Structure 1
């Protein structure tokens, strides 16, 4: 048992030494700059272009984010239900309905109804609330749509 533990410890130490031994300050000084990439491997510019092509607006700035959440909470706190990131993501997706269904308010409301579920509204929202959510998203997340 001690032999296995010692072997595993030695292997871990050698692994750490191998990783740290591979980098040097000289390598960093001569490395070519690369575009900023996200976890998906796309550059920020490529990601923005893909979002635009899909009809998705950029993530709202802090002030717009806060105003959007505040407006949703004023409608019904259950819409956000403590999950701001999720509510903003759904708002961004909701904005894409303007691009996918231009001039078709009924379809825009329909997709918004289904998108904004919560524990107390697992089937989504009623049409009146969905229209208000759509208006809030339009105002704070995608005013140019």
Structure 2
């Protein structure tokens, strides 16, 4: 789930909780008891015990969704692999390339046997000012392979 989607979901949950707290008990006519708002989602979805593991990129998360951010060594190898394919993929924004790759891992997990879907979504996800429509299917396949190898090899 990307940041915008997570924010939208959290907003809807909070709004719904707020609306239900404003009602009244239909049987007694008394105001409904106030319920505390839901706790805000932590800014770092990785559990504290997970951050002490040697390499989050080499271990499968409990549910195959978006993996945790890679450690510095795994990130460096991933960025080097993308740069070797085409330097414009990273385009001086390694954090953005990592985020796109982590999101691509979710696609790999959700469509494990659908190479065409994985490649199509890679091509849509990895864009740059010089490649606003993606890098094309052949390069997208290489990007997908780099993501799979370096960010979520157990998917």
Give the TM-score, by structure 2 length. 0.61
User: How far does residue 41 in structure 1 lie from its aligned partner after superposition?
Assistant: 3.5
- Cα distance between partner residues in 2 of 1:61 and 1:110: 27
Deviations 1:59-108 (A, max 9, x none): 11110100000110011100000000000000001111111112000000
Give the TM-score, by structure 1 length. 0.65
Could you list the runs of 5+ residues in structure 2 that have no partner in the other structure? 1-39, 51-60
2:116 aligned to which of 93, 99, 106: 106
- Cα distance between partner residues in 2 of 1:117 and 1:138: 18
CA RMSD for the aligned pairs? 2.2
Q: Which has the higher Rg, Structure 1 or Structure 2? A: 1
What is the 5 A alignment of 1:30-41?
40-41=41-42
User: How far does residue 53 in structure 1 lie from its aligned partner after superposition?
Assistant: 4.3
Match of 2:47 in 1: 45
Could you list the runs of 5+ residues in structure 1 that have no partner in the other structure? 1-38
- Cα distance between partner residues in 2 of 1:103 and 1:114: 19
Helix, strand or coil: the match of 2:68? coil
Kept after mapping to 1: 8 A contact 2:46/2:68: no
What is the 5 A alignment of 1:1-145?
40-41=41-42, 44-45=46-47, 53=63, 55-145=65-155
1:44/1:126 CA distance change after superposition, 3 Å: closer
Paired residues, what number?
Answer: 104
- Cα distance between partner residues in 1 of 2:154 and 2:64: 15
- Cα distance between partner residues in 2 of 1:96 and 1:56: 5
